[in-house]
Structures are given as structure tokens and as C-alpha cells.
A = this chain, B = another copy of it.
């Protein structure tokens, strides 16, 4: 068994209203110095050692990310 992490983030050119809401909330809370926030997703998968990198890319691209508006990255974590 291995742990695989997939990060999915909105593309740089896509507006991120959730992140902008956080920036606004920080200002109202009196916390300065945070100029930008972007919110994405993190998936932690427990996979058999038989699962190939190609399969993981396919899962991330088709099921976990919407590649029209999101970028993704796949990382195998060391046990």
C-alpha cells in the first residue's frame, strides 16, 4: 500500500472567489500581510503497489480535476 496525494488548484487565470473571500475576511479580522489566497483541493489516496503512475494520472485528470479550469499534480508519498 502506498499513499498518493493529488493537489487540484484553480488555474492562475481563473478567478477564485473562495480565495478572495478569505482575503477579505483576513482584512476584516485585522490581519495584514496576506496579499493573495487561492483555495484548491487535496486528495489522499491509499493505493495498492500494483496501481501504475499512468492510472493515477488518469484518475486525477478525469475524476478529481476539471482540467478546463483546474491544474492538478500527483505525488507518491514515501512510506
Contact of B1 with A44 in the complex, beta carbons under 8 Å: no
The distance in angstroms between the C-alpha atoms of A33 and B47, with both chains bound, is 6
- Which residues of chain B have C-beta atoms less than 8 A from A51's C-beta? 33-34
Q: A38: CB under 8 A from chain B?
A: yes
Contact of A63 with B9 in the complex, beta carbons under 8 Å: no
The distance in angstroms between the C-alpha atoms of A24 and B43, with both chains bound, is 15
Interface residues of A in 43-58 (CB under 8 A from B): 43-48, 50-51, 55, 58
Contact of A43 with B22 in the complex, beta carbons under 8 Å: yes
Q: Residues of A with Cβ closer than 8 Å to B?
A: 1, 7-9, 19, 22, 25-26, 29, 31-48, 50-51, 55, 58-59, 62-64
